[in-house]
Structure 1
Amino acid sequence: MKKIFIALITLVSLSYAQKVYATFDVAAQKSANLAFTASGIVKKVNVDIGSVVSQNQILAKLGNKDIKAMLEKTQIVFKFASRELKRQEKIKKLIDASKYDKILSNYENAKASVAYQQALYEKTILKAPFAGVIYDKSIEVGDAVSGLMLKTVFKIQSIHARKLILEFDQKYHGIVKVGQTFEYKIDGDSKTYTGVISKVYPYANFDNRKIKAEVEAKDFTVGLFGDGMILVDGK
């Protein structure tokens, strides 16, 4: 019985024969700096710092009456060009080929003009690229923005999804793998948490000779830090 007990202890100790120390910072799983790519005067700002937004929600708009008017004009031209093309397609065999080609060309040009004006119009509207929370804002109604000199006006990050950016000594580059367990503590928190390595960066930092890895987490405040142990499979 004693031998069996010793064998079990040995088997357990071999399962995690080595632990690799790592420090980490908490980062948002998704984050982005948002800016207008068009020039104009800010007409409307719909969110503030701390606002929770959904994907494609409108965050701010530039004054765009002139661009909207031009878009509507091109849409009208396109509508009549479409009607004319449909009429001519019915009698295509009865008309001169060059005349039909000209009508088709007018249709295609009108279609391209609508697409171009639509793109210009959309650049005056800033939308959230994903569901998240606004954590920085540097824009107010009346501000002038320039598409030639991009300036971040909002910073957005995922609401709950976080990632721990681990750093460990490069000498362990061959044994730390995706799927291994990471036991850790957040600085100032006595609770021990457990996560799984989801990514190992394929390079070492030239300055500190550290390698990075990532562990998925939830709801920690971005910017916190801590440390822990990577449980390396000893098999």
Structure 2
Amino acid sequence: MKIERNAKAQVPGQRSRRRKWLEIGLAVLALAAAAVFISRQGGGKAEVETVTVSQAYPSQNYTLLNATGYVVAQRKAALSSKATGRLEWLGVLEGSRVKKDEVIARLENRDVSATLGQAQANIKVAQANLEQGQAELLDAQQALKRASELLAQKFIAAASYDSAQARYNKAKAAISAQRAGIAAAQASAQSAQVALDQTVIRAPFDGVILTKSANVGDNITPFSSAADSKGAVVTIADMDTLEVEADVSESSLSRIKVDQPAEIQLDAFPELRLAGVVSRMVPTVDRSKATLLVKVRFIDHDPRVLPDMSAKVAFLSKPVTAGDKAAVTAVQPSAIATREGKAVVFVVADGKLRQVAVSSGRKVGELVEVGGVKPGDKVVANPDAKLHDGQPVSVAKK
């Protein structure tokens, strides 16, 4: 019996274990390949692109030009007193509505008030002097009459008559001086009244208080920049004169004219559309921006409109009718498909398609008016013929 020493020893069951591990490895590779394939294919779901159903306004069909700007008040004033003094009383806050000539604030005015009282007292003194002068004039007039009668009867000398005549003339002249004194006293009182009125701040027109720049106790010095002093006390604006100032490129000026209808949209309230009209065009071009300032007046007024709000202006070829003021539901025309002779869209919800019949209407800009869906719905863009109701889909990432 011969033993081969160079031959490899064979362990029992070794071949079966190698085959088993090979089969496991091939299965893992197959599963990995299947997972990659499934992930690339979206889990077997069709991949679609979607668009959003939105709201559109019919006025887009006759919009000639769009511009941006800000709301400003045509009539606006910073109120202060002509006098200098300490603010004693302030009767308004930001947002307060005031009427014309309503007292808004008052400075300390005891000194000016005392001067007015003294001037009014001087008027009474002058009036009393006039009354005394009138009494003296009446007495001199009667004495002159008696002297004239006695002189005619030669009971008195001519010198006595001349003395009575001089007294009468002097009393008459005193009346003129006393009346002039009354006029001077009245003028002084009027000057004191003006000085007193200058310590009171009144509203120059009906409006709303926009800002409050001073508080009670502040020194008001309107014509000086002294330290720790204030100029204007409040700022007021007439809300009935609000308008939008928009910059329009000079290359687009041919599409705008005075009294042209416009539609104003506020950034703060996108759903609010207000009618306006071009009131005037400032006849100066900004050379640095190559734009012209166009002012659009509000026709529709809303209490929510405030100065310095951002606004968009659509310049129109015709006024917006009542039927075109409301927004309509619209979608891109490419999202509408035909199934069995009917217009439909495919709404994507919860990873599945829902076929919805729609009624299409007029075009609104680049969109088309539809019924049967609501704004915010996600619908398939450019649906192909293979899509059907209830089909699971995945939305393509843009």
Scaled by the length of structure 1, what TM-score is found?
0.77
Letter in 2 for 1:144: N
* Residue pairs, 1:145-156, within 5 angstroms: 145-149=220-224, 151-156=231-236
Contact 2:65/2:255 (CA < 8 Å) preserved in 1? no
- Say whether 1:112 aligns with 2:187: yes
1:37-186 map, 5 Å: 37-82=82-127, 84=129, 95-96=169-170, 98-149=173-224, 151-159=231-239, 161-173=241-253, 176-186=256-266
Name 1:7's counterpart in structure 2.
Answer: none
> Of the candidates 300, 313, 318, which is equivalent to residue 228 of structure 1?
313
Aligned partners of 1:171 and 1:73: how far apart in 2? 68
Say which is worse superposed, 97-106 or 33-42, in terms of deviation: 97-106
Deviations 1:48-68 (A, max 9, x none): 222222222211111111111
1:187 and 2:267 equivalent? Answer: yes
Distance, in Å, in 2 between the alignment partners of 1:29 and 1:77 is 46
Q: Displacement of 1:122 after TM fit? A: 0.6
Q: TM-score, normalised by structure 2?
A: 0.48
CA 1:83–1:232 in 2, change beyond 3 Å: closer, same or farther?
farther
Instruction: State the distance in 1 between where 2:83 and 2:259 align.
Output: 44
CA deviation map 1:166-189 (0-9, x unaligned): 221234556633211112322250
Structure 1: runs of 5 or more not aligned: 1-15
**Stretches of structure 2 lacking an aligned partner (at least 5 in a row):** 1-61, 142-167, 225-229, 319-398
Is 1:22 the equivalent of 2:102?
no
Query: Once the two structures are aligned, what percentage of the paired residues are identical?
Result: 24
Find the counterpart in structure 1 of residue 289 from structure 2: 208
Q: Bigger CA drift: 85-94 or 176-185? A: 85-94
Identify if the C-alpha distance between structure 1 residues 230 and 87 changes in structure 2 by more than 3 Å, giving closer, same or farther: farther
1:82–1:207 Cα change, 3 Å: farther
1:160-217 deviation digits (Å, cap 9, x = unpaired): 5421112212345566332111123222504443211222222222332322222222
Q: How far apart are 1:113 and its partner, in Å?
A: 0.6
User: Is the alpha carbon distance of 1:88 and 1:176 closer, same or farther for their aligned partners in structure 2, counting shifts above 3 Å?
Assistant: farther
Letter paired with 1:19: L
Aligned to 1:12: none
The structure-2 alpha-carbon separation of the partners of 1:221 and 1:103, relative to structure 1 and needing over 3 Å to count, comes to same
Letter in 1 for 2:115: M
Deviates more, 1:205-214 or 1:79-88: 79-88
Residues of 1 paired with 2:90 and 2:306: CA distance? 26
Q: Which has the higher contact order (CA 8 A, sep 6+)?
A: 1
Distance in 1, Cα, partners of 2:169 & 2:209: 60
- Root mean square deviation of aligned Cα: 3.0
Q: Specify the code of the residue in structure 1 equivalent to 2:126.
A: A
Q: Which amino acid aligns with 1:125?
A: V
Other structure's SS at 2:217 match? coil
For residues 206 and 106 of structure 1, the distance between their equivalents in structure 2, rounded to whole angstroms, comes to: 63
Q: Distance in 1 between matches of 2:201 and 2:282?
A: 33
Tell me if structure 2 keeps the 8 A contact 1:20–1:232. Answer: no
Amino acid at match of 2:261: T
User: What letter is aligned with 2:218?
Assistant: D
For 2:76 and 2:169, locate their aligned partners in 1 and report how far apart those are by CA, in whole Å.
58
Q: 1:192 to 1:147 in 2, by over 3 A?
A: closer
AA at the equivalent of 1:193: L
Which secondary structure does the structure 1 equivalent of 2:256 belong to?
A: coil
**Residues matched between the structures, number:** 217
Q: Using the TM superposition, give the Cα deviation of residue 100 of structure 1 relative to its aligned residue in structure 2, in angstroms.
A: 4.1
Structure ID, larger Rg: 2
State the alpha-carbon separation in 2 of the partners of residues 173 and 84 from structure 1.
74
SS of 1:26's equivalent?
strand
